[in-house]
Amino acid sequence: MSYNHQTVEPKWQQFWRDQKSFQVANQVEGKENFYLLVEFPYPSGNLHVGHWYAFCVPDIVARFKRMQGYNVLYPMGFDAFGLPAENAAIKRGLDPEKWTYENMDYMRQQIGAMGASFDTSREVVTCDPKYYRWTQWLFLELFKAGLVTQRDTHVNWCPDCKTVLANEQVVDGHCERCDNEVTKKNMKQWNVAITQYADRLIDDLDSLGWPDQIKTSQKNWIGRSEGSEVDFQIGNETVSVFTTRPDTLFGVTYFVLSPEHPLVDQISTDEHRESVVAYRQSVAAKSDLERTELNKDKTGVFTGAYAINPVNGESIPVWIADYVLITYGTGAVMAVPAHDERDHEFAHKYDLEIRAVIQNLENPFAKEGGEICNSDFLDGLDVKAGVEAAIDWLESNDKGRRKRNYKLRDWTVSRQRFWGVPIPIIHCPSCGPVPDPNLPVELPKIDDYLPREDGRSPLAKATDWLHTACPQCGEMGERETDTLDTFVCSSWYFLRYCDPQNDQAFADREKLDAWMPVDLYSGGSEHTTMHVLYSRFWHKALHDLDLVPGVEPYTHRMNRGLIMGPDGNKMSKSKGNVIDPDAVVKELGSDTVRMYLAFIGPYNEVGSYPWSTQGIVGVRRFIDRVWRLREKVAATGDDVAVPLHKAIKKITEDTASLKLNTCVAELMTLGKIFEKTTAIAQSDFEIFLQLLAPYAPHLAEEIWAEFGHKDSITQSAWPVYDESCMVADTVTYAIQVNGKVRGQLEVAADADKDTVLAAAREVENVAKWLSDGEIRKEIFVPGKIAGFVVS
RNA sequence: GCUCGGGUGGUGGAAUUGGUAGACACGAGGGACUUAAAAUCCCUUGCCCUAAACCGGCGUGCGGGUUCGAUUCCCGCCCCGAGCACCA
């Protein structure tokens, strides 16, 4: 009878539920804890192939580690607040809460049908007041520590979502969620001081064994550069500039302020005021995208003012130009057209002086006109050494300050949207912003939750909720109406998994000590400069407040690849190339899908793999073959010790390093060997089933039970290989002449060098090649190569 | 432009302290079983040479180098993907 996954799989899923097979205690005597984390999903309403790839393939590792004797935490939950759920609800005219909870119910079923070994008793739902009470509490801890402030901020505004976005949520000038073009606004917003942690976020990466790709992405995003700050006088005002090239100070020929710089009005002369005002208006009207467009012609106007270069007292013109950004450095730059491409382009256009700096040891700051030059130092002095020398010179003349700058901006966390965590702050006319001690501050029920054009959150419509007394002085105040960015919710959810029911604290410290840091965190590469960066920061901030152990939340982070449609393109409804996992599971089974996804490519590398409707059939054929193999099982069978122990070794090592595709290949190879036997010893086949169990758990359980086992195979101990069982009686040597293989030789495994080489000479084809000349050298690689060099 | 990955059959991919390139799977071709088909099983499958096999030659993006031997190490290019990008 052929294998019927439609009855077998639900049976074992029910068994695991009934037995609470995957509920994990925080401590188990004699077992080491292992925390495996996957990113929890948005409750979008349906699981797609990407979810399967994200949840089921790491599940192989969870099951493997469990059998190896680890106490494994593999939890699941829902990232339930935020724009995706809200926008979907708006589109369908539904209540976001109802929509979200219905979706979660459906997705729980789908996740159950995967057969993944999640500990569902630890489920975390971020829109549940029992959860977001602690999101609010943690937010207030950061507020009290001075890491959260409300202030005027140059923000990214999505006109479609009608809310502020963090820098990380703007992709190439477009909203990360809806892809509309983002505009700039100046608004009073809540900011979290992630920039205070910029250095630690970079430097602590060194201690983590993460892939370089992830580390460098984060470093690029944080964008640290080292240089110095130099003061220029403009009239009575002192304006600092940040420069990475203080060694070019003698080549400064003009000075540029960002159009938004607060001093522009003050320093502009009457003669130039009109053009300055006009220019500032034209810049303000531009979107971020227009302003930063590549190869854009540089523009700017002269203010009429002059600045004094501190190193030589020279008077240089002050311009404003939008290639200088108000959000970086001091919003002002010293322009060195001979040594900076942008300054050069600008100087060329507006006919400003270009002056190169030639540095040598006798006369360090000689000057000379010229075109742009990149190598500025003679006699082997490199730029870095020159910069160091320049900073020394500036400091000895009381002009220099060493300074670091970052591209990273503070994290703007307030959102003008309904479906999020209310910011637990009360604005009091006398006391200012005051934390609300009565947590949770629940999201008010309102009928019209649509976002508004004016930038005010819809929560402002809940007037009863809005007006409340100041917890400090009792005066009537107003609640903050903005909600928190959903990335705040996800910055600590992995902590809550350690202690999900706790109503006294966000998590008990002992339980955090037991589980944290996460041993392996698998997720999508799109979160490298969003969620992963935010949560690292959040964790460090909590650590500084002595709320969590350790400075890093994740020991190892890996980015998974992408499953593409059968045509090689990203799956999308419009392309008609979407694979519905539910349909495939119905046809071929959950074991087949998960094993196929493991087989499709290495999980420890970021790649994109096209789904092959034919390829998955190959995996199903293997499952059917295993099912048929069990009929050959007897008390004793053929000797398969060598391939069996090789397979144990290979699968143990490669599962641990997430090369799951080669493990599936090895299982298939071993399956073929069993097919060639006349009978299979039950003890051998049980080892095979154990190796198979993480990959095809339902099938493995079914046959395991057929053999009379009462306990789940997931509770059995992972097989251990024995090196002595892996030694074959004979080995095959490749025989090379001048590096080319000319023959093969099978000899006893323990044959020594002389024996092998002597026999190798006699191999017919080899002898022919040796007769051409004299043997100059002999090569011997035990067990592999015997070789001769002739000439 | 800077940074980090990567380029292997018709396809997805194996194999690197340098040691028989192409495991495993898909696809393709041939055969067995069958009245027939499906399913299953067996054989072949990098390219060239050959009727076929042996033998031989070529072959891991391109060009050099080191070595008895290079997908692997070194130098110089090309291409693809990802991140950053008017960041001073």
Q: What single string gives the DSSP state of each residue in A517-549? A: SBSEEEE-GGGTTTHHHHHHHHHHHHHHTTSSS
CB A394 within 8 A of CB A246: yes
pLDDT recorded at residue A360: 53
Q: Within 13 Å and on the Cβ side, how many CA atoms surround A225?
A: 14
Rounded to whole angstroms, how far apart are CA atoms A102 and A570? 28
Pairing of strands A562-564, A432-435: unpaired
More confident residue, A104 or A567: A104
First to last CA, chain A: 64
Helix (H, G, I), strand (E, B) or coil at A291: helix
pLDDT by residue (tens digit) across A639-693? 999 999 999 999 999 999 999 999 999 999 999 999 999 999 999 999 999 999 9
Q: What is the ipTM metric for this complex?
A: 0.95
Q: Cα A55–A60–A63 angle (5° rounding)?
A: 115
**What is the Cα A175 distance to its own chain's centre?**
19
pLDDT recorded at residue A379: 42
pLDDT recorded at residue A382: 62
**How distant, in Å, are the alpha carbons of A345, A358, A460, A778 from that of A374?**
15, 11, 56, 54
CA pseudo-torsion sign A277, A281, A284, A289: negative
Among residues A366, A364, A367, which one has the least CA distance to residue A353? A367
Does residue A140 have a pLDDT over 60?
A: yes
pLDDT by residue (tens digit) across A208-217? 989 888 999 9
**How distant, in Å, are the alpha carbons of A81, A158, A305, A447, A455 from that of A461?**
20, 21, 49, 9, 13
CB A58 within 8 A of CB A20: no
Among A51-65, A339-353, A371-385, A602-616, which stretch is predicted with the lowest mean pLDDT?
A371-385
| DSSP string computed for A430-473 | TTEEEE-SSS--PPPP-S-----TTS--GGGG-HHHHEEE-TTT
Q: How far is the CA of A768 from the C1' of B44 (A)?
A: 30
Q: Which nucleotide is nearest to A654 (CA to C1')?
A: B14
For range A200-211, the mean pLDDT: 91
**Letter string b/e over residues A263-287, b meaning 16 or more CB atoms within 10 A of that residue's CB:** bbeebbeeebeeebeebbeebeeee
Residue type (1 letter), A699? L
Burial classification of residue A610, based on how many CB atoms lie within 10 Å of its CB (0-12 exposed, 13-18 middle, 19 or more buried) = middle
Q: Which nucleotide is nearest to A776 (CA to C1')?
A: B68
Q: Which nucleotide is nearest to A734 (CA to C1')?
A: B20
pLDDT by residue (tens digit) across A460-498? 999 999 999 999 999 999 999 999 999 999 999 999 999
Does residue A362 have a pLDDT over 60?
A: no
Kindly report which amino acid residue has its CA closest to the C1' atom of nucleotide B20.
A734
pLDDT recorded at residue A394: 87
Q: How far is the CA of A675 from the C1' of B24 (A)?
A: 16
Q: Which nucleotide is nearest to A788 (CA to C1')?
A: B68
| Confidence class for position A398, pLDDT limits 50, 70, 90 | confident
pLDDT recorded at residue A361: 45
Helix (H, G, I), strand (E, B) or coil at A359: strand
CB A483 within 8 A of CB A423: yes
Q: How far is the CA of A691 from the C1' of B38 (A)?
A: 32
For range A545-552, the mean pLDDT: 97
**Letter string b/e over residues A441-450, b meaning 16 or more CB atoms within 10 A of that residue's CB:** bebbeeeebe
pLDDT recorded at residue A56: 95
Token representation of residue A388? 């160091």
pLDDT recorded at residue A380: 45
Q: Which nucleotide is nearest to A330 (CA to C1')?
A: B88
Among residues A710, A16, A37, A96, which one has the least CA distance to residue A458? A96
CB A776 within 8 A of CB A737: no
Among residues A13, A84, A95, A91, which one has the least CA distance to residue A45? A84
Q: Which nucleotide is nearest to A603 (CA to C1')?
A: B13
| Nearby residues of A790 by Cβ (< 8 Å), 6 or more positions away | A737, A738, A769, A770, A772, A773, A774, A775, A776
Q: How far is the CA of A663 from the C1' of B24 (A)?
A: 9
Q: How far is the CA of A759 from the C1' of B54 (A)?
A: 22
Rounded to whole angstroms, how far apart are CA atoms A69 and A693? 15
CB A296 within 8 A of CB A235: no
Q: How far is the CA of A740 from the C1' of B69 (A)?
A: 7
Among A255-269, A380-394, A612-626, which stretch is predicted with the lowest mean pLDDT?
A380-394
Among A77-91, A193-207, A499-513, A551-565, which stretch is predicted with the lowest mean pLDDT?
A77-91
pLDDT recorded at residue A91: 86
Q: How far is the CA of A641 from the C1' of B20 (A)?
A: 24
Q: Which nucleotide is nearest to A789 (CA to C1')?
A: B68
Among A80-94, A140-154, A587-601, A708-722, which stretch is predicted with the lowest mean pLDDT?
A80-94
Q: How far is the CA of A7 from the C1' of B38 (A)?
A: 23
Kindly report which amino acid residue has its CA closest to the C1' atom of nucleotide B26.
A615
Q: How far is the CA of A467 from the C1' of B12 (A)?
A: 62
Q: How far is the CA of A421 from the C1' of B4 (A)?
A: 37
Among A169-173, A301-305, A458-462, which stretch is predicted with the lowest mean pLDDT?
A169-173
| Nearby residues of A280 by Cβ (< 8 Å), 6 or more positions away | A259, A260, A264, A320
CB A36 within 8 A of CB A65: yes
CB A36 within 8 A of CB A520: yes
Q: How far is the CA of A122 from the C1' of B32 (A)?
A: 56
Q: How far is the CA of A175 from the C1' of B66 (A)?
A: 52
pLDDT recorded at residue A373: 59
| Confidence class for position A59, pLDDT limits 50, 70, 90 | very high
Token representation of residue A544? 């500084």
Does residue A613 have a pLDDT over 70?
A: yes
Among residues A236, A306, A297, which one has the least CA distance to residue A269? A306
Q: How far is the CA of A57 from the C1' of B32 (A)?
A: 39
Burial classification of residue A477, based on how many CB atoms lie within 10 Å of its CB (0-12 exposed, 13-18 middle, 19 or more buried) = buried
Burial classification of residue A532, based on how many CB atoms lie within 10 Å of its CB (0-12 exposed, 13-18 middle, 19 or more buried) = buried
| Confidence class for position A90, pLDDT limits 50, 70, 90 | confident
pLDDT recorded at residue A294: 52
Q: How far is the CA of A521 from the C1' of B2 (A)?
A: 29
Mean pLDDT score of chain A, rounded to an integer?
91
Q: Which nucleotide is nearest to A671 (CA to C1')?
A: B24
CA pseudo-torsion sign A631, A637, A643, A647: positive
pLDDT recorded at residue A442: 96
Does residue A128 have a pLDDT over 60?
A: yes
Q: Which nucleotides of B are covered by protein (CB under 7 A)?
A: 2-5, 11-15, 19-21, 23-27, 39-42, 55-57, 67-70, 81-88
Q: Which nucleotide is nearest to A244 (CA to C1')?
A: B88
CB A674 within 8 A of CB A627: no
Rounded to whole angstroms, how far apart are CA atoms A638 and A618? 27
pLDDT recorded at residue A524: 92
Q: Which nucleotide is nearest to A298 (CA to C1')?
A: B86
Q: How far is the CA of A614 from the C1' of B34 (A)?
A: 25
pLDDT recorded at residue A387: 81
pLDDT recorded at residue A378: 42
For range A99-112, the mean pLDDT: 95
Q: Is the peptide bond before A75 cis (omega within 30 degrees of 0)?
A: no
Q: Which nucleotide is nearest to A241 (CA to C1')?
A: B88
Rounded to whole angstroms, how far apart are CA atoms A168 and A188? 19
| Confidence class for position A65, pLDDT limits 50, 70, 90 | very high
Pairing of strands A608-610, A562-564: parallel
Does residue A377 have a pLDDT over 70?
A: no
The percentage of residues in chain A with a pLDDT greater than 90, rounded to a whole number, is 69
pLDDT by residue (tens digit) across A516-531? 999 999 999 999 999 9
Q: How far is the CA of A219 from the C1' of B83 (A)?
A: 10
For range A353-373, the mean pLDDT: 64
Kindly report which amino acid residue has its CA closest to the C1' atom of nucleotide B1.
A341
Q: Which residue has the tokens 């960002």?
A: A258
Q: Which nucleotide is nearest to A668 (CA to C1')?
A: B24
Q: Which nucleotide is nearest to A340 (CA to C1')?
A: B88
DSSP structure class, residue A377: B
Q: How far is the CA of A743 from the C1' of B59 (A)?
A: 20
For range A722-743, the mean pLDDT: 88
